[in-house]
A and B are shown apart, each in its own frame.
Chain A
Amino acid sequence: MSKSALAYVVSLILLGGAVVLGVTVGTVPISPAVIWNPSSDEAAANILWNIRMPRVVLAGLVGAALAIAGAAFQGLLKNPLADPYTLGVSSGAAVGAVMTLFFGISIPFLGLFTLPVISMIGALITMLAVMGFARLVDRSMKMETVILTGIIFSSFLGSIMSLMIALTGEELRQIIGWLLGSVSMRGWPYVQMALPFVLVGSFVLWLYRRELNAMLFGEERAQHLGVDVKKSKMAILIGGSVLTGSAVAVSGTIGFVGLVVPHMTRLVWGSDHRHVLPLSFINGAALLIVCDLVARTIISPTELPIGVITAFIGAPVFAFIFFRQRRGGL
């Protein structure tokens, strides 16, 4: 079996394992047999299919979306520290989402999709602003410059959110809980809300897998190799924003997934985007399902926000990558 085939098999097995664990472990333990044979235990099947499964699927979608978006942003910016969270794109999406909730915006023909679409627009605007500002500061867009710009933007956007939350009053708790990131109590409608965008966004990024490979060597080199840099860049930015926006709209800001997963994937399987993108997608889903499982079981019956778990893993990984980039050569 070739190395890449092995990578897919291993990743899919991990994902499968995560799903099974995600739906069976909890305050009410459920036998895995219930998955194939719901009639054996009606009550358990009810919990499994109506509470746990949508939660697991949603966590998987969000993890997949953030991970593949992170991988694409890193390739586009040649920056291993880039991810929707560190770039401030998640905050942009969150502002879009909070605004939608705060003002009760509902665009008629979008209906259910109003929330993710406005989040996506927030994400895209933020991404463009961050890149524009970073380029103004430093034409070569050094790693640190981009990340610092991301921090500036997320602080600013964070304060806007705090302001809006302070003004809401009664819905305060709900929005704060949402902000910290969670996939609990969302149910199938949220899955429906996110699914089309996650699929479309991921497909767009996957179409640009070869362009991303070329762009890792710099935009100029990519152009020499025949890449239409402007078009590819825009497509990747839009694809990444669609993914980030839809993920944030259904789960709030969950940090570092887009950083950790592509990094681990590259470490094990190399940095060819033809594989990094789909593998990040699968592994991102598995990771977030496991994180969510930990978040709801570690201090059961109380649930931790899932963002706490991802940050707990992600921040040290961030520090490690930063250290390696600066001190360990490449």
Chain B
Amino acid sequence: MIRKVVPNAQAAVEDIQDGMTLMFGGFGLCGIPENSIAAVRAKGVKDLTCISNNAGVDGFGLGLLLETRQIKKMISSYVGENDEFERQMLSGELEVELIPQGTLAERCRAAGAGIPAFYTPAGFGTEVAEGKEVRHFHGKPHILEHAFDAQFAFVKAWKGDEAGNLVFKGTARNFNPMMAMAGRITVAEVEELVPAGSLDPNHIHVPGIFVHRIYQGAHFEKRIEQRTVRPRV
């Protein structure tokens, strides 16, 4: 077995440098690598390009890295709900590239699958397609999109073992598996780190080959963005 365990978040981010491209898993605040985000913030690296479906909220998630101006460019599909983000975007301090969510997911998947580029119908006829190659398949126009290249990918799983195998829970899976596949170096934080052999190999969502560093997160706040409930009668 190849062991992937590092002691903590700080050790997992020790070689991150200014100007790198980093991926962060999660959808909204669900399944985000909270501990790695905190460690990147503490390390103080700057001019980062961050690829993440969303940009967190004020004071949580990637909002923490926006607060400290560590992010130069954000690549996302949806960035609402964040006043500091809006301020930096409108003032020109923050560069933002918005891309369709399915294209974002596939650009991650392609990176982890050895596919340099692919055609998708999403965005044809819109500003997303500007400057991109168009090709027709089955009579329908598609645009060429390229795989991402990120030095680090930070993901969060429910359980993981010493070999880096990951299991997710509920909709906290979202972008985490493809980003795990895509990172040149993938750092996984888990709620529960278990010995190799404790997870059923039939139930692994991400095989350990894609994970370079794994640690058990010290603290998970798991904040809920929109608490919607049915009142008990």
Bound together: no
